[in-house]
A and B are shown apart, each in its own frame.
Chain A
């Protein structure tokens, strides 16, 4: 067959949902398969790293990498695919901004190892063995990937050309992005391949979001039965719509749940969490400190709420491991 464009898929620190998302393209995946030659996709096809290494640099049209970078192996694969590909695409929230795995940046390597290999009730590890990059086993040396202290987004490890956001990206977004990439009329490098407007702007509930919204009390989803027609933020639910990029089709809103921010910010926002913090704090209807503080008790986990999918890509990136009373 004449040369079809070559495409690769790879996963790093991720849950597998992004792989599912590709399969979820359903019939549309047949169009993709007909149009391209998939040269590497560990979850589905039996090609090896050595096959990729044997390819000429730049010979893959596009590599879609999902997952954040936690280990030396993931970094090595990201760099390898970068070298072999014309276009490197960060696929899904974790590759885009760190995703859920980046919430581990609220701890460090030592604290994580301590919990996972020492202190949890179900752990039996009398010798206190911790993960190592090299160990002797039956007379051989076994080499394992090293575990970084901090989770990084893909573009903090190597240059990324495009981003497909979402936890996981929706079929429409993926199909649109693949079409754009194969169409040859490429947008400027660094583009996030979705509309660059806030989720609120085309939300079906926008009409019920008051111009000057005042909130007296924040509520968590289990505390209310939300009205299905009214803006969720107006009902005191922490909907991330004002600080999140549109394009998902308002999936959570249509399920009567507040947006948790998985598409990341628009291009005008530097830090999704700080932007959202600013928006909701402004809306609080109090002027005295004690009343403000009482209302803020309704947000028990600000970092986990405001940076659920974007801690690695945020301005601060991680917690500083100082003993402060939070």
Chain B
């Protein structure tokens, strides 16, 4: 049975997940999920790429810096990549990117790589539902340093005082 889409949080915030799906597998799985009328969380914004190996780590950071709360990359199973080894390249980049993102304070659940074949619409649904629930539990990512964070801590000091200090 389809799990219901995760409900919105009290203040109405819904996670935004940017999803890079390979044209030959995960994108088709999403298509199949659609034509099979599967219900799953509506939080992904899907971007079709020709291969998971096309997903430049800069895309992932760009998405996060522009307000995504999570990024999902979907590619062909090992051995099934249309271009032989694009998914292995994606895996190598992903493993290093994850280490770097942890050092940036970005929680593990926010960025995910999954192998989902064209036939695995149910896996796609489960992965998306699970990820949306996890990211929802984490709350908004707020990355890329919103300007209001630059001066954190200065406001209290300024209150006790002051002429001439702009915070």
Contacts and interface: CB of A to CB of B under 8 A. Distances in A.
Contact of A303 (B65, B100, B162, B165): B100
Interface string B137-167: 0000111110001111110011011101111
A274 B57 contact: yes
B157 A132 contact: yes
A149 B92 contact: no
A315 B146 CA distance: 12
Interface in A137-159: 143, 146-150, 152
Interface residues of A, number: 52
A120 B89 CA distance: 43
A148 B58 contact: no
Contacts of A132: 157
A143 B164 CA distance: 9
Contacts of A75: 166
B95 A292 contact: yes
B74 to A, nearest CB: 17
Contacts of A110: 153
A321 interface: yes
Contacts of B149: 149-150
A317 B142 CA distance: 12
Interface in A171-225: none
Contacts of A302: 96, 99-100, 103
Contacts of A324: 102, 105-108
22 contacts: A72-B154, A106-B103, A133-B157, A146-B167, A152-B150, A270-B62, A274-B60, A274-B61, A275-B58, A277-B97, A278-B56, A296-B99, A299-B99, A301-B103, A315-B65, A316-B144, A317-B65, A319-B104, A320-B141, A324-B108, A326-B99, A326-B102
B92 A134 contact: no
A303 B104 contact: yes
A281 interface: yes
Given A133-B165, A149-B153, A316-B65, A326 B92 contact: no
Interface stretch (A38-46, A89-97, A283-291): A283-291
Contacts of B141: 320
Contacts of A287: 78, 85, 88, 91
A285 to B, nearest CB: 9
B164 A282 contact: no
Contacts of A320: 104-106, 141-143
The 8 nearest A-B residue pairs measured at CB = A320-B105, A149-B152, A134-B161, A315-B61, A326-B102, A274-B57, A302-B100, A281-B93
A270 B93 contact: no
Contacts of A306: 100
A48 B55 CA distance: 52
Interface in B105-120: 105-108
B93 A293 contact: no
